[in-house]
Structure 1
Amino acid sequence: MTSIEFYRAIAPIIVELKDGHTFMFPPILEHLEKIKLFPLDVVIIEDKVFAKHDYSSTVQGGSELLFINDIPIKTVVNQLLKYISSETREHAIAQLQRFFPVYLLVEFGSPDEFSAKVKNSEIKIVEIPSVCLESMDGSWLALPPYSYQYLEEHKVGILTLSSMENPKEFGELLKGIFSQLKEKDADLIIDLRDCMGGNSVLGDMVISYISDKDLHVSGRKSYQKVSEQLKKQRDYEWLQNAKIGDMMEKNARRIYYLH
């Protein structure tokens, strides 16, 4: 059994857990530079797939893909979604959109070309040659964790997140963003479509700028039960008399209760 065959067998089982934090990446990611890929960046809206950019210069941007290798595009999408762990279909679609060439490779291999029926001003069948990764942008493999742009003509800022990491750096970015928005009396769009999750503290940081209430994306309390054996130990006297600060982690939302 090859690594791809193993992935095809195991990934759908993991997906049944419906937990975006429990997933299995395709085993071919580290070998992509040696493999030919479907050459389109795509946009997926519900079950429809549109060409965003074609690195083989075969399909016009904005064209709708109706069939790939004689398979209806809705069927193709559903076949690929079985490999993507997520709590919601919408989030799975976002991940499929980002890594469409990779999951297509998992399911259909790496042929020299793909046959596709596309719709633009007319419906036609085209042969789309596969291309090497070096011929593609490849930015979808390593998106920056977050980026920001301000559209002066629309008076709106767009904060795009692909992962939630590095709170210190993100805090500095937010400080600048909301200072600008306040100065220009502008709106903010937060684009989470490609976000793969991460540290929920970043969500708390955003909320702190848009709400006067003390809200948190998530939190928890940990309870510590003390056994009779521990109570007989010499150190238990310290445990009873310790200050709250001695029994708390630096995470302010985690408090230990003794009983």
Structure 2
Amino acid sequence: MGYYVSVEPGVKLYVEDINPEGSKTIVFLHGWPLSHQQFEYQFNVLPHKGFRCIGIDWRGFGKSDKPISGYGFDRLADDIRAVVDALQLDQFTLAGHSTGGAIAIRYMSRHHGYGVSNLVLIDAAAPTGFSSETAARFLNQALNDRPKMMREVTENFFFQYITPPFSEWFLQLGFQAAGWSTAAIIITLRDEKLDSDLPKIHAPTLIVHGVHDKVIPYAQAQDLNRQIKNSQLVPFHYSGHGLFWEEHDKFNKLLRRFIRSTEN
């Protein structure tokens, strides 16, 4: 079921809550410039395995409210904390893809991992995000020709072949966002770094990353693995930046196994 949670006056986030009676909860944070719907191929499977799956659209994206400001990692992490508090979540797995991984890292640091039993970083845009050159190109396109930007994002996202209908679906996920929020996140990815956050992560952490990732290089996953204590890195050899779809069977099984391996 879907509903809205107020995170500050005048701003509500859309939350998709699948199988609320599940015995284990996974909170999914999507990547830029998408929405919770990118995890369709997890939501199809994991609830049937007994998991409660919660997908959150960040402010400015998907079905959430789209204020003109509030797109730094601190505010985005605070938004997640507001949802966690509203739903009274505890002992949940926090799984973030790309920029969602960066938000998850800031949440772990800023909120001391409140309620989180396990962390999963999927092609995470960390500890750095976009280079100045990449950010300048995307920012120019976002402000002048966002459809062209989304086409470039889609073309560079996947290693495996995607059909034209899938490509169109993926493009439409990006168009659900506001133009100003799309641009604001580019600036955040350019300017904010997460190196100082990493030593503050103490939860068991699974790092998964496509070795053919053209958006966030695989070397950054290796860097995360070195800097996050109690972490393990699993490469996805047939994926680019979209392993949640490209190797979704492998990812879904690995995620289930990781969560169960860390149960008390």
| Structure with higher helix content | 2
Structure number with greater CO (CA < 8 Å, separation at least 6) is 2
Q: Whose radius of gyration is greater, 1 or 2?
A: 1
Give TM-score scaled by structure 2 length. Answer: 0.25
Give TM-score scaled by structure 1 length. Answer: 0.25
